Chain A
């Protein structure tokens, strides 16, 4: 904070040195402007303020201008697509455009839910993500506490850095990495299996193995990042608590349960709510790149995102793809609001909104 103060002082001094003149002038004008604005009346009754809204706009103009670029981007790339969701109720044709295409009601949805696809993609997306959230929470918290307890602090730092490394890899690289491990003829794992006298496995055609592979890869990639998040909370816990616990004769285990975990709880809740909000959005890279588009794996690797992508790009079925998209957005919305509602019931302080 001392640093901040210093920087601020310097900045103020600089401005003062540069503009002693304006400062004096401004003081005079300022008082006029201020009184006019605050009391809603103008000086000496010369001009009446007819439009308070206009005044309000004018006063906030510079800040509004600053927000403008972001607002435009937000409108174009966040809110316009929401309007584009109306495609789910239309039969899209290119020459007529998005708004000109004819309405067909819920036909797209009927078509989507009649196939077994809807059930498979819903099940896959929800189950995988629920598993990811749970495992991530458990592993990251225990790893953060473990790293925090290590006797050699330097080693803890090194571990932490190494764990972060996979997070920065793109799924494309991870996909190739897995291929070099799992490839049928050349893969390292199959070679090891044969070496030790087992049969080689055709990894890319056997759906029963993939839930484990995908979960392992997801954990491998993200766990370091969440661990660091928790560690940053851990370092903020004051030593006084542990001191007091020590005097009261608490064991290490009791300290973790009664002090460390309660301090981590808000962070755990926030990260989990955010994750639950994304529970219906699968990690596209994970489910698209890793299985290398192997058709026999679709039953266990097809999730909403890949389904929508394939429907759009490979079969060109815009209506059904956007129906699936709307279904995804709606369920995601309901889930995050629901999760937040539950949290607000149990622990009002930790709720997001």
Chain B
């Protein structure tokens, strides 16, 4: 990113080359990064190869990059699970889709409200939200409250609701919203748009990039979440993938 040619026409290209790192240094850096890249990829490759190698060959050679025999047995076994597999994937997909949508919906609205400096309870709600970042009940108290008081034990909603509001994402989105000048909102109000209309027709479309970022993070955390499932789900029929 340093010193692109077009940004400084005054200084000749000769000077630019001076500020670049030398070829040997570049080679060393490349070497380091290549090794790290391999370290990132190879273990994954191993898992994939192991999944395709036959049980016999694992028995003989252990887990290896070069199995003596290939087979699809693991996948055959996997798909034989049939019903259970379909149901598990179904629940995971349901949790991810519904969770992400619901989470985005409430996070976006909450962040917008907090970004409005003319909103009366702005400070109160911000403090309330920030406090949840600093202090929380921990898993035991949360678990007891959710199962005993809210009746969420062994239900899909236990996988969706607790994760749906993340104070950190609200803060990120709020910063995004602050980039929208208040004049736009005021103009919309003068033109007769209600608060809801202003939000859904003007503010949301302007914030698509922010929403996409947050949406992606939320989706990944829902998809990868196994902890809540392990904690709350007892009935095997509701097991996740």
Min CB–CB distance B71 → chain A (angstroms): 16
Give the secondary structure class of A's interface.
helix
Minimal beta-carbon separation of B30 from chain A (angstroms): 7
Quick check: is B36 within 8 A (CB to CB) of the other chain? Answer: yes
A78 within 8 A of partner (CB): yes
- Chain B residue numbers with a CB within 8 Å of A285 are 226-227
- What interface size band does chain A fall in? 35 or more
B141 touches A82 (CB 8 A): yes
Q: Is A228 located at the chain interface by the 8 A CB criterion? A: no
Say yes or no for A346: interface residue by CB 8 A criterion. Answer: no
**Which residue of B has the minimal Cβ distance to A67?**
B113
Chain A residues near B143 (CB-CB < 8 A): 312
Determine whether A181 belongs to the interface, using a CB cutoff of 8 Å to chain B. Answer: yes
Given A162-B37, A312-B139, A183 and B196 touching (CB < 8 A)?
no
CB distance from B93 to the nearest CB of A (A): 15
Which of B29, B114, B133, B202 counts the most A-chain CB atoms under 10 A from its CB? B29
A120 vs B62: C-alpha distance in the bound complex, in angstroms? 35
Partner of A70, one of B32, B37, B109, B120: B109
| A16 and B191 contacting across the interface, CB-CB below 8 Å | yes
B82, CB-defined interface residue at 8 Å: no
> Does A263 make an interface contact (CB < 8 A)?
no
Assembled-state Cα–Cα distance A322/B15 (Å): 64
Q: Does A185 contact B (CB under 8 A)?
A: yes
Q: What residues of A have a CB within 8 angstroms of the CB of B81 in the complex?
A: none
Q: Which residue of B lies closest to A162 (CB)?
A: B37
A350 at the interface (CB under 8 A from B): no
User: Which of the segments A7-15, A38-46, A109-117, A125-133 contacts the partner chain?
Assistant: A7-15
Flag whether B75 is at the interface (Cβ < 8 A).
no
Q: Within the assembled complex, what's the spacing in Å between the Cα atoms of A168 and B8?
A: 39
| Contact, CB under 8 Å: B145 / A277 | no
Could you say which residues of chain B place their CB within 8 Å of the CB of A67?
Answer: 109-110, 113-114, 121, 125
Does A214 sit within 8 A of B, measured CB to CB?
no
With contacts A165-B40, A177-B47 known, is A69 near B62, CB below 8 A?
no
Known: A69-B106, A159-B37. A11 touches B202 (CB 8 A): yes
Q: A22 contacts B192, CB within 8 Å?
A: yes
* B40 neighbours in A (Cβ, 8 Å): 162-163, 165-166, 220, 224
Give how many B residues have a beta carbon under 8 Å from the other chain's beta carbons.
97
Q: Is the CB of B33 within 8 A of A63?
A: no
Chain B: residues with CB nearer than 8 A to chain A? Answer: 1-4, 7-8, 11, 15, 18-21, 23, 26, 29-30, 32-34, 36-37, 39-41, 43-44, 46-47, 50, 58-59, 61-65, 105-107, 109-110, 112-114, 116, 119-121, 125, 128-130, 132-146, 148-150, 161-162, 164-165, 170, 179-180, 184, 187-188, 190-196, 199, 201-202, 205-206, 220, 224, 226-227, 231
Q: Which residues of A contact B (CB under 8 A)?
A: 4, 7-8, 11-12, 14-16, 19, 22-23, 25-27, 30, 56, 59-60, 62-64, 66-67, 69-71, 73-74, 76-85, 87-88, 92, 94, 97-98, 143, 146-151, 153, 155, 159, 162-163, 165-166, 168-173, 176-178, 180-181, 183, 185-188, 190-191, 220, 224, 234-235, 239, 242-243, 246, 252, 255, 277, 284-285, 305, 308-309, 312-313, 318, 321-322, 324-326, 328-329, 332-333, 336-337, 353
